[in-house]
Amino acid sequence: MKIKEIKVSKAIKAVLIVLALALVLLGLVYLVIYLSGYRIIRYASESGETRFFGKVGKDGQPMTGTVYFADGTKADVDMKNNRITYSDKSEYVGETTDLIPDGKGRLTFPSGEYYDGDFVMGDMTGYGTYVYSPVIGDRYEGFMKNGKRDGKGKYTWSDGSVYEGGFASDMKNGEGSCTWSNGSSYIGTFVNDVKDGTGVYVYPNGDKYEGTFVRDVREGTGTYTWQNGEYYTGEFKANMMDGHGTYYWTSGRTYEGTFKENKIVWELG
């Protein structure tokens, strides 16, 4: 029994010695890392914890290293140049808070498109310019909210068409004006990217409609003027003269009465 007890005692001592040496070695490794200026820094946010591992400056702030975000993605940081390169190859250069874009900056995507403007804790929020990829060629300048066009802004298409006015959730909403490359134009109200409300639309051939629209269709009351000077004022339905109205010819002749699907309904009697 004594021999077995001695052997067990020696085995335990050996294990303890190995553990002690491992702890010392681990401590030395951490000491070397610490003296080399490397740190692990944790940041708490509403979306979870963000962790940084890398070199810090004399003030203890991150300089170069890797940041691990709460959603599982990561990025390489170079705070000497205020640059963050994400795992999807997107690159941000600008102001940050806790290694998250916050303030003025520029985010460039792998496709070549970029946003240059205001950020609020990682979101494109505020005023800025969004330039779409060279393949698309469009450009937006105005207010953003959580990465979407929201507020007053100007959108220019690659073909030269331009919209300037209100936006909400990436769509034309509110008062605005749009000029298309085919020569047509509209000044009035938009709802969810289409004409809806009161406005003036000028067609490529010079015809003009001034009145109400419902979901991009002439609907309600308005005045349609042809290029030759003739015009109709009255009710519209499904883009056609429909209901009560008056038609004016350039000769001075007029007709007031009922119209149905662009045709006069002649009343007998």
> Would residue 19 count as lying in a domain?
yes
**Rounded distance between C-alpha atoms, residue 170 and residue 97, angstroms:** 26
Residue 246 resides in a domain: no
Residues 52 and 94 in one domain: yes
Last residue of a domain, one of 90, 107, 124: 107
pLDDT in tens, 130-187: 999 888 899 999 999 999 999 999 999 999 999 999 999 999 999 999 999 999 999 9
Kindly state whether residue 10 falls inside one of the protein's structural domains.
Answer: yes
Among candidate residues 76, 107, 138, the one where a domain is terminated:
107
Domain encompassing residue 89: 37-107
Residue 245 · residue 232 · CB < 8 Å:
yes
* pLDDT score, position 139: 97
19 shares its domain with 41: no
Question: Is the same domain home to 70 and 102?
Answer: yes
| H-helix or E-strand spanning residue 18 | helix 2-35
3 in a structural domain = yes
pLDDT per residue as tens digits for the range 181-218: 999 999 999 999 999 999 999 999 999 999 999 999 99
Shared domain for 15 and 68, answered yes or no, is: no
Query: Please, what is the Cα angle at 231 between 225 and 236, to 5 degrees?
Result: 85
Q: Is the residue at 22 inside a domain?
A: yes
Does residue 9 lie in a domain region? yes
Q: Rounded to an integer, what distance in angstroms lies between the CA atom of residue 216 and that of residue 239?
A: 9
Report yes or no on 96 lying in a domain.
Answer: yes
Tell me if 1 is assigned to some domain: yes
Query: What's the CA gap between 137 and 80, in Å, rounded?
Result: 33
Q: How many domains does the chain have?
A: 2
